[in-house]
Amino acid sequence: MDRELTYQMPFERLVRLSRSASRKAHATSWFGYLAAIGLFCTALALIMIYDEAVQDWQRSVGLPWFAAFAIIVVVYVAALWTLRRYALRQMKGRANYDSDVRMRQDGGGLRFVTDQVEYYLKWPGISQMLMEKDGVAVSHGSLFFLIPNTAFTGLQERDAFVRAVFGRLGAEARARSEKHVGSVLAESIGAKA
């Protein structure tokens, strides 16, 4: 069955969708974060309300005056760290992030393909280009695609790719990208001189 729909999606709605869908798709993580924040605030309130009793207990066991607060902070940070690891495991369980990516540059833009998904960034849709220590990243809004240095036969091929893509970017994308890819562009100018 073929179907084609045309619609607009305002940015404000996408922001709400991001929060709503994330809460629904990862409910356990969201509940865990809210519970950790709630328990942290409650614990802080309790040590303020029962300050004298907490200080007396700390002195009786030989702890410094700030020990109860430090313990609460350490437990809170550990809980957030554990919840973050759990949330990342949840995300990794929903897609194969280790699958091979095939990137193809053509006259219209860049195509990124895996066995499960395909993205096509048209030249006007690329909003920025960044150099990372291990590759080149292109973005459309907050969606980033990394092409690792190891995908190219050498740094010369990578630099030629950067120059080719930069040459196709719109004026605003060039302005955002220039400080990040300027060293590659400067090498090109230096080689011509």
Per-residue pLDDT reduced to its tens digit, 28-70: 988 999 999 999 999 999 999 999 999 999 999 999 989 999 9
Per-residue pLDDT reduced to its tens digit, 77-90: 999 999 999 999 98
E strand or H helix at 158, and its extent? helix 155-168
> How many Cα atoms occupy the beta-carbon half-sphere of 144 within 13 Å?
12
3-class secondary-structure state, position 6: coil
pLDDT greater than 60 at residue 191: no
Tokens of 176: 């955002």
Q: What angle do CA 158, 180, 166 make, to 5 degrees?
A: 55
Could you tell me whether strands 135-140 and 143-148 are parallel, antiparallel, or unpaired per DSSP bridges? antiparallel
pTM for this prediction: 0.73
Residues 6+ apart with CB under 8 A from 166: 129, 174, 177, 181, 185
Tell me 125's DSSP state. Answer: G
Q: Which residues of 150-186 are buried (b: 16+ CB within 10 A; e: fewer)?
A: eebeeeeebbebbeebbebbeeebbebbeebbeebbe
pLDDT at 189: 54
> How many Cα atoms occupy the beta-carbon half-sphere of 62 within 13 Å?
0
Q: What angle do CA 113, 173, 167 make, to 5 degrees?
A: 75
Compute the mean pLDDT over every residue in the chain, rounded to the nearest whole number. Answer: 90
Per-residue pLDDT reduced to its tens digit, 105-160: 999 999 999 999 999 999 999 999 999 999 999 999 889 999 999 999 999 999 99
